[in-house]
């Protein structure tokens, strides 16, 4: 590949295969790179820990490198050994540095003789940030405990000692022992017919970054949804999930028709308990997904489209650092829209794109200027903060702009070639731009200037000429909302009987931040939103009703917060309560009851929100 400076960007493009400096990892890939992980784990539910042995195959890059440096967080290291070609081991000296709050502890292993493999024996902490342990009472069927991982962004280090950077890719195999009657799954090829005998083996032959390392174990049933897809879920959930996700094979085929073959073999789905902090996680071969998208009408299955799309953007072509997160999430959100359009029509795809664009327009001006950029300056940006709404929504908006400027035919050809060109590599924003410039921008001149591209990627805010999709249904909802707010249209006369989930989301999203009490009471009397089991609608409804001062919704809002641990659907309701002293006190009581059922990431987010709210209220006294 020809090396080119990205003009006026102040950065040189790395050659394909080179690794960008990662501020969120202690790893030193210029010295040594982990190429394969052999993992042996014992799942210990009573102690909420994994007993592990990780054997790392190494490619030494620097002949003078004195040590192997790994990322860890709250791991207890029992032994570190070099493993010879004959299988014999030799103890190695190592040092575990004091823990950094975000990065964890640097593990430095002295290895001047450059062994081909290093073996680390360790135990995880019950409070590992990348694992959640649920007792039976916090599962759907309440029969078996449940454990699952969430490694993105930098939480794999809390359950495996490794080079925890998206720039470093490795293959892995694993042997896992668990109690009998518990099924174990991983981000690898899974056998739906595996006996529940407590002994599982896995193989991931494709090199993946550490954040895609995943494991789960519990009372898990399986139902096939296609020739290369199945749903895994608790027995009481699996049939509903299989019906909701019945179009999985159609989604795979649609994505293949656009962007080339699905290269991972199988695409299975694991429905997790409601405490899962995200909508979905694109773990290869086994997407983890929230049960909050199972609403009976497939209106929220775009989450599956999104996680499937990651099989091309993210898993196949990966952001080299979390500063480049829009290469994962912006590209994936664009591809998600194309899958949704092909399967469910332009109306739903346009509504979803418009929802995200309008929400971003509302929020982006309140962000620091650096956070408004697709490729922000890395200083001060945490790994978990980097994949923000900007990465998803501004990133996909930029790609929709390219599609509009160059035409779908030309843009699709470029995007497919991009996935092929960078397949199985982790790349930076600058590498992507160096491929974009000659292969699309300059290939079809006078359609979009390079200055426009740079403004999208490196500039704050949203360019003024950013195109928006048309949605006649949303236009009508805008008119009805305005008439309702003006008092000329009663809530009961809203033409909302046939609104889908996206249309209710749009109506609620564009209400005033603080509607009047009379307005929210009128809406609820007519449409009975309090107590809805559609979590997308519920979150938006409770935020507005709480802001309006409607105390009648508080118990239903508390039930929503206690039932759902998904950050996106729970934190806004906590935030709405925290705006007043009485609301903050009530939210504190809800959290005290719900805390043990939340993922560590959700616990941290709620506690940070409470601390800020208390400080703000103290300052105003």
In this structure, the answer to whether residues 202 and 230 fall within a common structural domain is no
Among candidate residues 292, 279, 277, the one with its CA nearest the CA of residue 132: 277
Q: Among positive and negative, which fits the CA dihedral 170, 173, 176, 182?
A: positive
Instruction: Tell me the whole-structure pTM to 2 decimals.
Output: 0.94
Q: What is the pLDDT of residues 586-601, one digit of tens each?
A: 999 999 999 999 998 9
Residue 423 lies in a domain: yes
In this structure, the answer to whether residues 242 and 382 fall within a common structural domain is no
In this structure, the answer to whether residues 477 and 548 fall within a common structural domain is yes
| pLDDT given at position 85 | 87
User: Which of the pair, 1 or 402, is modelled with greater confidence?
Assistant: 402
Backbone angles phi, psi at 92, to 5 degrees: -115, 145
* Distances from the Cα of 543 to the Cα of 129, 221, 313, 546, angstroms: 28, 36, 33, 5
Residue 466 lies in a domain: no
Report the CATH number at residue 512.
1.25.40.320
In this structure, the answer to whether residues 453 and 524 fall within a common structural domain is no
Q: Among positive and negative, which fits the CA dihedral 447, 390, 152, 103?
A: positive
Among candidate residues 429, 457, 428, 436, the one with its CA nearest the CA of residue 19: 428
3-state secondary structure at position 588 = helix
Percent of the chain beyond pLDDT 70? 96
**Of 196, 212, 228, at which residue does a domain stop?**
212
Burial bucket for residue 258 (CB in 10 Å: 0-12, 13-18, 19+): middle
Report the CATH number at residue 265.
3.30.2010.30
Q: Which residue spans within 423-511 are E strands per DSSP?
A: 425-427
Cα 400 → chain centroid: 21
| Catalytic residue list contains 435 | no
The CA distance from 434 to 430, in Å, is: 6
Print the domain residue range for 130. 19-212
> What's the pLDDT band for 212 if we cut at 50, 70, 90?
very high
Q: Are 176 and 213 in contact (CB under 8 A)?
A: no
**Of 458, 485, 520, at which residue does a domain stop?**
458
Cα 214 → chain centroid: 13
Residue 227 lies in a domain: yes
In this structure, the answer to whether residues 177 and 95 fall within a common structural domain is yes
| pLDDT given at position 386 | 52
Residue 5 lies in a domain: no
Q: In the predicted model, what is the mean pLDDT of the chain? A: 95
Helix axes 535-548, 501-509, angle to 10 degrees: 20
In this structure, the answer to whether residues 503 and 560 fall within a common structural domain is yes
DSSP string, 227-263: TTEEEEE-HHHHHHHHHHTTTHHHHHHHHHHHH----
Give the number of domains in the chain.
Answer: 4
Per-residue b or e along 445-472, where b marks 16 or more CB atoms closer than 10 Å to that residue's CB: eeebeeebbbbbbbebbbeeebeebebe
The CA R_g of the chain, rounded to the nearest whole Å, is 25
| Catalytic residue list contains 586 | no
Q: What is the pLDDT of residues 57-110, one digit of tens each?
A: 999 999 999 999 999 999 999 999 999 989 899 999 999 999 999 999 999 999
The CA distance from 575 to 584, in Å, is: 9
Q: What is the pLDDT of residues 478-501, one digit of tens each?
A: 999 999 999 999 999 999 999 999
In this structure, the answer to whether residues 345 and 451 fall within a common structural domain is yes
In this structure, the answer to whether residues 39 and 69 fall within a common structural domain is yes
| pLDDT given at position 510 | 96
In this structure, the answer to whether residues 404 and 551 fall within a common structural domain is no
Among candidate residues 449, 579, 559, the one with its CA nearest the CA of residue 513: 579
Burial bucket for residue 22 (CB in 10 Å: 0-12, 13-18, 19+): buried
DSSP code, position 13: P
| pLDDT given at position 620 | 84
Task: Say which residues have a Cβ less than 8 Å from residue 114's Cβ, sequence separation at least 6.
Answer: 32, 58, 60, 63, 65
* Distances from the Cα of 517 to the Cα of 63, 524, 541, angstroms: 71, 11, 13
Q: Are 141 and 236 in contact (CB under 8 A)?
A: yes
Residue 4 lies in a domain: no
Residue 6 lies in a domain: no
pLDDT tops 50 at residue 11: no
3-state secondary structure at position 320 = coil
Report the CATH number at residue 97.
2.60.40.1730
Mean pLDDT within 33-56: 98
**Of 212, 230, 251, at which residue does a domain stop?**
212
In this structure, the answer to whether residues 263 and 334 fall within a common structural domain is no
Strand partners, 166: none
| pLDDT given at position 59 | 98
Residue 463 lies in a domain: no
Residue 3 lies in a domain: no
pLDDT tops 70 at residue 374: yes
Report the CATH number at residue 367.
1.10.390.10
The CA distance from 117 to 60, in Å, is: 10
Instruction: Choose the catalytic residue: 152, 234, 307, 351.
Output: 307
In this structure, the answer to whether residues 383 and 501 fall within a common structural domain is no
Among candidate residues 374, 367, 423, 426, the one with its CA nearest the CA of residue 395: 374
* Distances from the Cα of 308 to the Cα of 288, 344, 387, angstroms: 11, 16, 18
Token couple for 289: 């997904």
Return the H-helix or E-strand segment holding 433.
Answer: helix 429-436
In this structure, the answer to whether residues 447 and 376 fall within a common structural domain is yes
Q: 3-state secondary structure string, 50-68?
A: EEEEEEEEEEECCCCCCEE
Q: What is the pLDDT of residues 286-309, one digit of tens each?
A: 999 999 999 999 999 999 999 999
Return the H-helix or E-strand segment holding 302.
Answer: helix 302-309
Q: Which long-range contacts (CB under 8 A, 24 or more apart) does 223-227 make?
A: 224/192, 225/249, 225/269, 226/252
The CA distance from 43 to 163, in Å, is: 23
DSSP code, position 178: -
Q: What is the pLDDT of residues 404-449, one digit of tens each?
A: 999 999 999 999 999 999 999 999 999 999 999 999 999 999 999 9
The CA distance from 369 to 153, in Å, is: 23
Instruction: Choose the catalytic residue: 392, 542, 574, 586.
Output: 392
Q: What is the pLDDT of residues 308-358, one digit of tens each?
A: 999 999 999 999 999 999 999 999 999 999 999 999 999 999 999 999 999
Mean pLDDT within 199-208: 98
Strand partners, 119: 55, 81
Return the H-helix or E-strand segment holding 215.
Answer: strand 215-218
Per-residue b or e along 354-389, where b marks 16 or more CB atoms closer than 10 Å to that residue's CB: bbbbbbbeeebeebeeebbbbbbebeebebbebbbb
The conformational region for residue 492 under phi > 0 = left, psi -120 to 50 = alpha, else beta, is alpha
User: Which of the pair, 388 or 109, is modelled with greater confidence?
Assistant: 109
Burial bucket for residue 475 (CB in 10 Å: 0-12, 13-18, 19+): exposed
Q: Are 214 and 187 in contact (CB under 8 A)?
A: yes
Q: Among positive and negative, which fits the CA dihedral 600, 605, 608, 613?
A: negative
Q: Quickly count helices (H) and strands (E) in the chain.
A: 18, 23
């Amino acid at each position: 590949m020809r090396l080119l400076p990205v003009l006026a960007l102040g950065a040189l493009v790395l050659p394909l295969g080179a690794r960008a400096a990662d501020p969120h990892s202690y790893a030193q890939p210029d010295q040594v790179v982990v190429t394969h992980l052999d993992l042996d784990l014992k799942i210990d539910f009573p102690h909420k820990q994994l007993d592990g042995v990780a054997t790392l195959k190494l490619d030494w890059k620097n002949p003078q490198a004195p040590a192997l440096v790994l990322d860890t967080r709250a791991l207890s290291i029992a032994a570190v050994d070099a493993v010879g070609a004959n299988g014999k081991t030799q103890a190695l000296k190592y040092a575990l540095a004091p823990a950094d709050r975000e990065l964890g502890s640097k593990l430095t292993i002295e290895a001047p003789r450059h062994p081909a493999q290093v073996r680390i024996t360790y135990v995880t902490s019950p409070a590992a940030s990348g694992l959640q342990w649920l007792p039976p009472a916090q599962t759907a069927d309440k029969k078996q405990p449940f454990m699952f991982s969430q490694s993105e962004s930098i939480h794999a280090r809390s359950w495996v000692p490794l080079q925890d950077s998206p720039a470093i890719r490795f293959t892995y195999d694993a042997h896992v022992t668990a109690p009998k009657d518990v099924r174990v799954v991983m981000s690898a090829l899974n056998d739906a017919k595996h006996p529940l005998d407590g002994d599982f083996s896995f193989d991931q032959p494709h090199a993946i970054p550490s954040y895609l390392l995943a494991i789960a174990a519990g009372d898990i049933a399986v139902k096939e949804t296609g020739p290369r897809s199945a749903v895994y879920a608790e027995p009481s959930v699996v049939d509903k999930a299989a019906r909701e996700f019945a179009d999985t094979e159609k989604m795979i085929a649609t994505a293949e028709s656009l962007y080339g073959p699905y290269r991972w073999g199988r695409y299975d789905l694991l429905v997790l308990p409601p405490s899962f902090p995200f909508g979905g996680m694109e773990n290869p071969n086994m997407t983890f997904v929230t049960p909050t998208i199972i609403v009976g009408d497939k209106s929220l299955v775009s989450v599956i489209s999104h996680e499937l799309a990651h099989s091309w953007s993210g898993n196949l072509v990966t952001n080299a650092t979390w500063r480049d997160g829009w290469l994962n999430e912006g590209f994936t959100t664009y591809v998600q829209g194309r899958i949704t359009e092909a399967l469910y029509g332009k109306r739903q795809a346009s509504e979803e794109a418009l929802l995200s664009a309008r929400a971003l327009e509302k929020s982006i001006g309140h962000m620091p200027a650096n956070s408004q950029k697709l490729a922000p300056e890395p200083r001060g940006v945490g790994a978990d903060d980097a994949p923000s709404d900007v990465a998803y929504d501004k990133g996909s908006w930029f790609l929709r702009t390219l599609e509009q400027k160059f035409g779908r035919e030309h843009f699709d050809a470029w995007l497919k070639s991009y996935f092929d060109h960078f397949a199985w590599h982790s790349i930076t924003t600058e590498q992507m731009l160096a491929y974009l410039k000659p292969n699309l921008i300059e290939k079809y001149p006078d359609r979009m200037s390079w200055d426009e591209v740079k403004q999208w990627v490196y500039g704050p805010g949203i360019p003024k000429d950013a195109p928006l999709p048309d949605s006649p249904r949303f236009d009508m909802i805008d008119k009805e909302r305005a008439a309702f707010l003006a008092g000329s249209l009663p809530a009961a006369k809203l033409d909302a009987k046939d609104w889908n989930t996206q249309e209710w989301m749009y109506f609620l999203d564009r209400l005033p931040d603080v509607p009047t009490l009379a307005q929210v009471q009128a809406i609820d009397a007519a449409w009975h939103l309090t107590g809805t089991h559609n979590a997308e609608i519920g979150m938006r409804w409770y935020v507005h009703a709480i802001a309006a001062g409607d105390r009648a919704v508080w118990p239903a809002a508390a039930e929503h917060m206690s039932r759902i641990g998904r950050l996106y659907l729970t934190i806004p309701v906590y935030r709405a309560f925290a705006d007043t002293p009485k609301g903050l006190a009530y939210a504190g009581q809800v959290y005290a009851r719900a805390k043990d059922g939340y993922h560590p990431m959700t616990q941290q987010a709620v506690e940070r929100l409470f601390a800020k709210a208390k400080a703000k209220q103290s300052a105003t006294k």
